[in-house]
């Protein structure tokens, strides 16, 4: 399990690699993922975020074996918060969705500036099912991306969003591709295009400033960490016990 980073002619590719666990994230992986966005070469013009396509999932969220470590994180700790790092990144970020994009994986994609996808991509929010609150932007950004009714259908009622529906809602750009590798090629083409657009970083910043989500994101984080301290550990333990009986 690792976060692999490669730099090539101004394009940084960040790959989530934990295929035996559906690319689920551990605490050390979260730290490395945040670092991949915080510590970029000056010449980086674009970042492409992918999941190891040996897995059936872009990212299945937090690795259930690592939940204790992640929930033990202090609210003030930012070094293991990749979404914070992505939101602070001035370079455009292209996310590549394939297979299951669940909870933390979904939130990481929402932190990208554009998402391309393979046809098997499906976006899933199970926070309500587990009994925890999101802290990385899902309750703030999804409604802005696809509208409040569609966001409630997904997050409150547990309705998954497949690639076709995601495209129609504007969550995914372009036409979903036949494979994760083809979607990755689309992402790299976008990254190379950004290299030729000197105003891209400034326009990204202007758009994000216009969305003005900093205050509501801070409130989302505060609520989530209060939930983690109170009910979340017990709810997650109950969720795991129920899964183990399946």
Give the mean pLDDT of 121-132. Answer: 94
pLDDT tens profile 161-175: 999 999 999 999 999
Structural domain including 150 reads 2-177
- Counted domains in the chain: 1
pLDDT band per the 50, 70, 90 thresholds, residue 246: low
Kindly report the CATH number assigned to the domain that includes residue 56.
3.90.226.10
Strand extents, DSSP E, the chain: 2-8, 11-17, 46-51, 57-59, 93-97, 100-102, 114-117, 122-124, 161-162
Dihedral angle, C-alpha 96, 97, 102, 104, nearest 10 °: 10
Tokens describing residue 244: 């183990």
Question: In this predicted model, which residue has the larger pLDDT, 131 or 149?
Answer: 149
DSSP state of 156: T
Q: Output DSSP code: residue 104.
A: H
Residue 231 domain flag: no
Is the pLDDT at 132 greater than 80? The verdict is yes
CA dist 7 and 79 (Å) reads: 22
Structural domain includes residue 69: yes
Give a yes or no: residue 195 inside a domain.
Answer: no
pLDDT in tens, 23-42: 999 999 999 999 999 999 99
Is residue 237 one of the residues assigned to a domain? no
Per the domain annotation, does 128 fall within a domain? yes
Residue 57 lies in a domain: yes
Whether 245 is in a domain gets the answer no
Task: Please tell me the least confidently modeled range out of 57-61, 103-107, 219-223.
Answer: 219-223
Residue range 186-240, pLDDT digits in tens: 999 999 999 999 999 999 999 999 988 888 999 998 888 888 777 656 666 666 6
Is 161 within a domain?
A: yes
pTM: 0.91
Q: What is the pLDDT of residue 236?
A: 62
Rounded alpha-carbon distances, angstroms, from residue 239 to 127, 153, 160, 235: 11, 21, 19, 6
At 241, phi and psi to the nearest 5? -65, -40
| Rounded Cα distance, 25 and 174, in Å | 28
d(CA 134, CA 102) in angstroms, rounded, equals: 12
pLDDT of 211 reads 86
Percent of the chain with pLDDT over 70: 93
Residues 142 and 137: their CA atoms lie apart, in Å, by: 8
């Amino acid at each position: 399990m690792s976060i692999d980073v490669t730099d090539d002619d101004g394009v940084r590719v960040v790959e989530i690699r934990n295929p035996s666990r559906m690319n689920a994230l551990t605490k050390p992986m979260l730290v490395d993922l945040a670092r991949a966005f915080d510590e970029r070469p000056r010449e980086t013009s674009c970042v492409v975020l992918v999941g190891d396509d040996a897995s059936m999932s872009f990212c299945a969220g937090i690795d259930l074996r690592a939940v204790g470590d992640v929930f033990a994180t202090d609210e003030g700790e930012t070094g293991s918060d990749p979404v914070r790092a992505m939101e602070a990144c001035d370079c455009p970020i292209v996310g590549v969705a394939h297979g299951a994009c669940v909870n933390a994986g979904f939130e990481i994609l929402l932190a990208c500036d554009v998402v391309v996808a393979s046809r098997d991509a499906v976006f899933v929010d199970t926070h309500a099912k587990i009994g925890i609150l999101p802290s990385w932007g899902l309750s703030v950004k999804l409604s802005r991306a696809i509208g409040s009714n569609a966001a409630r259908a997904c997050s409150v009622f547990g309705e998954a969003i497949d690639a076709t529906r995601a495209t129609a809602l504007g969550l995914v750009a372009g036409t979903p591709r036949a494979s994760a590798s083809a979607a990755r090629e689309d992402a790299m083409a976008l990254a190379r295009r950004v290299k030729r657009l000197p105003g891209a970083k400034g326009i990204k910043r202007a758009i994000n400033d216009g969305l003005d989500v900093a205050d509501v994101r801070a409130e989302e984080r505060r609520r989530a960490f209060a939930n983690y301290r109170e009910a979340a550990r017990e709810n997650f333990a109950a969720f795991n016990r129920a899964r183990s009986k399946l």
